[in-house]
Amino acid sequence: MDDPEPKIARIVGSVERYHWGRGSILELGCGTGTILAGLGGIGPLTGIDRSPEMLAIAREKVPSARLIEDDITAFDLGETFDVVLCVFDTLNHITTFEGWTSLFDRARTHLAPDGLFIFDVNTLTKLRAMAEFPPWWSQAADASVIQSVDPPLAGLSNWNVWIVERLADGGYAGLHERIGELGVELAQIEAALDGDFVLLEAHDELRGPPAGYSKRVHYAWRRRSDPAAGPPG
């Protein structure tokens, strides 16, 4: 499983550098609350996710957070935050770029002027590389999990997840699920954000500038106080 601690450290570092180390937090796609649980020292926490099952776990994990069941591409809370987060490759699991731009709009609307938008993405390079791997196997409790990734078609890959569980009577039960993941060229992402945000930071998993071989890119953007004003002079 992807280790959350480096992500939490990157978020804290960006907030320290660009927002005085404090502020209200809104996480889009908060899942089981793993990231929010590591951010309690920054300020009030709010998380949105469309899965009631995940939110139930998050309520146990982060009882101080306000947790809301909603669509992260179409919500309206009627308030603003100092920092909006969308991490753990949540963007990639929105399978159209129109959905990405809707989420970007929701982030802008819910950010205070000069607020921070922090997110990460898996790159097309990573999705293409994953598709070249043979299926891989792992064990979880009494179930075997087999995964493979289809090659991207128009940027969209499908993860195939097979779960085979041993039953009490000695038999087996199986489940197959397909999970879409969209890869988008970095230039297209940056162009979609440029009018409303100023890019503060972009680095890959090696903490270098994004390049053709980068597998994941981490971004920090600042909302423009006046988008109509364009880039600062």
DSSP string, 76-94: --S--EEEEEE-TTTGGGS
> In this structure, what CATH number is given to the domain that contains residue 178?
2.20.25.110
CA distances to 70, 162, 179, 213, 214 from 185, rounded to whole Å, are 28, 29, 20, 12, 12
In a domain, residue 196? The reply is yes
| Residue 231 located in a structural domain | no
3-state helix vs strand vs coil in the chain, percent to 5: 30, 35, 35
Same domain, 175 and 189: no
d(CA 166, CA 169): 8
Do 59 and 131 lie in one domain? The reply is no
Given the structure tokens 């992807």, which residue do they identify? Answer: 2
Are 197 and 186 a contacting pair, CB within 8 Å? no
Instruction: Report the predicted TM-score, pTM, of the whole model to 2 decimal places.
Output: 0.91
Are residues 120 and 87 in contact, defined by beta-carbon separation less than 8 angstroms? yes
For 145-155, the pLDDT digits (tens) are 999 999 999 99
Domain co-membership, 84 together with 104:
yes
Residue pLDDT, tens place only, 191-217: 999 999 999 999 999 999 999 999 999
- The partner residues of 222 in beta bridges, in order of sequence, read 116, 198
In a domain, 64, yes or no: yes
pLDDT digits (tens, 9 = 90+) for 80-121: 999 999 999 999 999 999 999 999 999 999 999 999 999 999
Whether 232 is covered by a domain: the verdict is no
CA gap 130, 126 in Å, rounded: 6
Number of neighbouring beta carbons within 10 Å of residue 214: 20
Asked whether residue 233 is domain-assigned, the answer is: no
Residue range of the domain that includes 174: 126-182
Residues 110 and 131 reside in one and the same domain? no
Angle (CA) 127 133 134, round 5°: 140
Residues 194 and 153 in one domain: no
The reply to whether 149 falls in a domain is yes
Looking at the fold, whether 74 and 35 belong to one and the same domain comes out as yes
Return d(Cα 145, Cα 227) in angstroms, integer: 47
Judge whether residue 133 has pLDDT over 90: yes
Beta-carbon count within 10 A of 126 CB: 22
Check whether residue 32 and residue 100 sit in a common domain: yes
